[in-house]
Amino acid sequence: QSARAALRERFLRLLGRARGRPARFRLWGGLAVEAALGAADAEPAAFQVDSLRTPLGLQGAALLRCGDVLAFSVPLQ
């Protein structure tokens, strides 16, 4: 349980450092989208993003369900 708590703490610290930075999300089905990472809820069940760029256009703000996200990356440098 302590290892799990440590991993959760690292993940939450990563989300804190990544706020407002550009992120790339790979969704199930092979779709890749880009957005500025806003926040994630405590579970996390969803990511709040700004300026979501999709093949259909630009959305000012959106929620990405974590169940739909296969992977995401955020450059921290």
pLDDT tens digit sequence for 10-33:
888 888 888 999 999 999 989 999
- Retrieve residue 51's tokens: 């300026």
Average pLDDT over residues 39-66: 90
pLDDT band at 8 (very low <50, low <70, confident <90, very high): confident
Q: What's the rounded mean pLDDT across residues 30-40?
A: 92
Q: What is the pLDDT of residues 60-69, one digit of tens each?
A: 999 999 899 9
How far apart CA 61 and CA 49 sit, in angstroms, is 6
Number of domains in the chain: 1
Query: In this prediction, what percent of the chain has a pLDDT beyond 70?
Result: 99
Its domain, for residue 21, covers 1-73
- The answer to whether the CB of 10 falls within 8 A of the CB of 30 is no
CATH number at residue 20: 2.30.30.100
